[in-house]
Amino acid sequence: MGARLSLSDISLHFGGVKVLEGVSFDVEPGVIFGLVGPNGAGKTSLFNCISGHYRPSSGSITIDGSEVVGRAPSHLAHLGLARTFQHPALQLRATVLENVLLGGHIRLPGGPVEWALGLPRTARAERSIRAEARAMLDAAGLGWAADLPADELSHGLHKGIELWRALLSKPSLLLLDEPAAGVSHAEVTQLIDTVRKVREEQDITIVIVEHHMGLISALTDKVVVLDHGRKLMEGTAAQAQSDPRVIEAYLGKDATDDAA
């Protein structure tokens, strides 16, 4: 079952800077949910609050009813959360396969002592996850790159590696931070197909921060629009794109006057 994510009255202040103010919304299990808004609206900061990288100044965030504010990212991974970053965070000297395998670590049985001892059940699990990672890369048409150092690949493929790494952890809640930023048109089309397939084949809830409205329209069931750290509206992507408040936030007041 995809996870249920609930945010209630989230605020985030850095000194006197109010980055988020009273943001609340629910993400139903199994949906693809978009978080959009102009530059600096607070989207990545909100992702950082959900993934445990930032601690909100106030408010509550629950995943399947469990409070996660104050929990470390590693704890949240055990609750089924995985994320990608706006700027891919890869081990550039390691191979593509090794980067993807980092996502499978969470699925290994036992703890650090067992892993260090290389007990048979750990070794078996490692072999099985490695085979799964290779199969994922093959299915994505990236088998040729599996044993290459990550730094030999393009930015678009780095984004792909992050996505496969996150998926190898078998998340019930996946946060994608600007997956289409800086990637080619053909790669965006491939990304849309991949995310659709993932949703068809897995019980997963996906939240996407993205400026690419084509991708948001193609994929999301619902969106929340943020502006200056506040929730501006909630609805479908089509409703957001025709909402005068959203048009004004992106383009300024003149644009809505012109449209009237």
Ligand X SMILES: Nc1ncnc2c1ncn2[C@@H]1O[C@H](COP(=O)(O)OP(=O)(O)OP(=O)(O)O)[C@@H](O)[C@H]1O
Residues at the contact surface with ligand X, assessed by CB under 6 A = 14, 17, 19, 37, 39-45
**Residue closer to ligand X, measured from CB, 16 or 111:** 16
| CB-based contact 91:165 (threshold 8 Å) | no
Between 46 and 150, CB nearer to ligand X: 46
Judged by CB, which is closer to ligand X: 149, or 182?
A: 182
Across the strands, what pairs with 35? 209, 224
Shortest distance in whole angstroms from residue 210 CB to ligand X: 9
Cβ within 8 Å of residue 216, ≥6 positions away: 34, 36, 208, 210, 223, 237
Q: Which two tokens stand for residue 16?
A: 């006197």
> Which is closer to ligand X, CB of 50 or CB of 153?
50
- The nearest distance, CB 12 to ligand X, in angstroms, is 8
At 131, which amino acid appears? A
Output the CA torsion sign for 41, 43, 224, 54: negative
Q: How far is the CB of 156 from ligand X (least distance, A)?
A: 18
Residue with Cβ nearer ligand X (41 or 140): 41
Nearest CA to 173 out of 199, 192, 191, 197 is that of: 199
What's the min distance (Å) between Cβ of 43 and ligand X? 4
Minimum distance of ligand X from residue 257's CB (angstroms): 25
- Which of 24, 23, 85 lies closest to 53 in space, CA to CA? 85
Of the candidates 93, 110, 84, 119, the residue with the CA atom closest to the CA atom of residue 191? 84
